[in-house]
């Protein structure tokens, strides 16, 4: 997950040329280059588009900035129906055109045996940034608005469903072969809200994409969902589910894998530590899940302090495994 990033010196060089993180996302030549960098180094079986989940609110007219040592900051915050009325839905497609060009570039440049994954943020997670204005430990402001004004909040979710489905369809048109939906903050939702704001919106996006491209595989990642991972897999219609580092392997094997592919779930900090701790856990994951439909991956994004030689060792170990 998050293949290109600050752990690669060649990425940092390109990032400095872009001027800002968002400029990098919207510069097709540069975004293509940083997407290809980890493929050249490590020979992964798949490549994920370099972009960010917050290009959607940016395309809708909410200002998005990535500030050093702070992270994303969005303004003005969405807190009312009037705020929703100010979003520019008619301009989103044009604003996102550079992303589609990056996908086209990658479809032409990647080796034929490397799958191209397109992606987007799931509506609940994107909404938490639009409402809160920044990342949050518990998404309290968004949850409070959803409780207090569920109809207004549902308008925002419905808008994100429509925009995100169109965004993913355009990625497939441009050459994406697999799609992934990241619901990073799904774990903060109680039971009924998980159904309403995580499962239902993602199921609708899957339905809309499948209406146009029925054969395109879709991966869902409801991070922090716990035992609700199985329900998510069954009810959204995704082909695969990414599991975070807290999901027990036995649960994944018995409750998720019989119905769909599992992707995951090495702790990114084990990749930082390397050595026997890493290789032992990689071996345990492979032997637990490798006999069924499985994509080896991290349980969340690779972190900046990751040693490059640890990534190379991990790739060699996984590729040498025979389930």
Q: Is residue 65 part of a domain?
A: yes
Listed residue (42, 45, 73, 43) closest to 57, CA to CA:
73
pLDDT in tens, 9-24: 999 999 999 999 999 9
Question: Considering 26, 52, 223, 244, which one is annotated as catalytic?
Answer: 52
64 close to 23: Cβ distance less than 8 angstroms: no
Q: Which residues lie closer than 8 Å to 8 by C-beta, 6 or more apart? A: 37, 38, 41, 308
Per-residue pLDDT band for 69 (boundaries 50, 70, 90) equals confident
Q: Is residue 294 part of a domain?
A: no
Catalytic residue status for 52: yes
- Average model confidence (pLDDT) across the chain: 96
Q: Is residue 265 part of a domain?
A: no
The pLDDT of residue 89 = 86
| Rounded average pLDDT over 184-189 | 98
In terms of Cβ atoms closer than 10 Å to its own Cβ (0-12, 13-18, 19+), residue 84 is: middle
pLDDT in tens, 266-294: 999 999 999 999 999 999 999 999 999 99
Q: Is residue 304 part of a domain?
A: no
Percentage, residues of the chain above pLDDT 90: 94
Catalytic residue status for 2: yes
Catalytic residue status for 6: yes
Q: Which domain holds residue 150?
A: 9-242
Q: How far apart are the C-alpha atoms of 231 and 255, rounded to whole Å?
A: 9
Listed residue (140, 168, 194, 192) closest to 49, CA to CA:
168
Q: Is residue 199 part of a domain?
A: yes
Question: Considering 15, 143, 223, 228, which one is annotated as catalytic?
Answer: 15
The pLDDT of residue 91 = 85
Q: What CATH number corresponds to the domain at position 178?
A: 3.20.20.210
> Does residue 323 carry a pLDDT above 80?
no
β-strand partners of 126:
none
| Domains contained in the chain, number | 1
Per-residue pLDDT band for 5 (boundaries 50, 70, 90) equals confident
pLDDT in tens, 70-125: 899 999 999 999 999 999 988 898 999 999 999 999 999 999 999 999 999 999 99
Q: Is residue 274 part of a domain?
A: no
Q: Is residue 259 part of a domain?
A: no
Which uninterrupted H or E stretch holds 262?
strand 261-266
Percentage, residues of the chain above pLDDT 70: 100
Catalytic residue status for 104: no
Q: Is the pTM of this model over 0.85?
A: yes
Q: Is residue 204 part of a domain?
A: yes
The pLDDT of residue 2 = 84
Catalytic residue status for 213: no
């Amino acid at each position: 997950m998050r293949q290109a990033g600050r752990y690669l010196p060649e990425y940092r060089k390109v990032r400095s040329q872009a001027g800002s993180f968002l400029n990098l996302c919207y510069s097709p030549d540069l975004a293509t280059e940083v997407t290809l960098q980890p493929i050249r180094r490590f020979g992964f079986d798949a490549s994920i588009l370099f972009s960010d989940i917050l290009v959607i609110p940016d395309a809708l007219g909410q200002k998005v900035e990535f500030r050093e040592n702070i992270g994303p900051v969005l303004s003005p915050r969405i807190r009312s129906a009037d705020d929703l009325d100010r979003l520019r839905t008619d301009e989103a497609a044009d604003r996102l055109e550079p992303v589609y060009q990056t996908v086209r570039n990658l479809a032409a440049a990647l080796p034929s045996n490397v799958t191209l994954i397109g992606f987007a943020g799931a509506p609940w997670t994107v909404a938490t940034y639009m409402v809160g204005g920044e990342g949050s430990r518990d998404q309290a402001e968004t949850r409070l608005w959803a409780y207090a004004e569920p109809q207004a909040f549902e308008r925002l979710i419905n808008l994100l469903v429509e925009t995100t489905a169109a965004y993913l369809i355009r990625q497939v048109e441009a050459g994406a072969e697999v799609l992934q939906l990241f619901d990073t903050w799904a774990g903060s939702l109680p039971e009924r809200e998980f159904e309403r704001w995580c499962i239902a919106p993602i199921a609708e996006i899957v339905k809309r994409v499948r209406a146009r491209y029925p054969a395109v595989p879709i991966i869902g990642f409801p991070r922090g969902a716990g035992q609700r991972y199985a329900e998510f897999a069954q009810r959204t219609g995704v082909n695969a589910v990414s599991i975070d580092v807290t999901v027990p392997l036995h649960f994944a094997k018995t409750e998720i894998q019989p119905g769909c592919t599992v992707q995951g779930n090495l702790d990114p900090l084990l990749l930082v530590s390397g050595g026997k701790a890493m290789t032992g856990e990689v071996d345990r994951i492979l032997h637990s899940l490798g006999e069924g439909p499985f994509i080896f991956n991290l349980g969340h994004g690779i972190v900046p302090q990751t040693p490059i030689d640890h990534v190379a060792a991990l790739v060699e170990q996984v590729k040498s495994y025979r389930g």
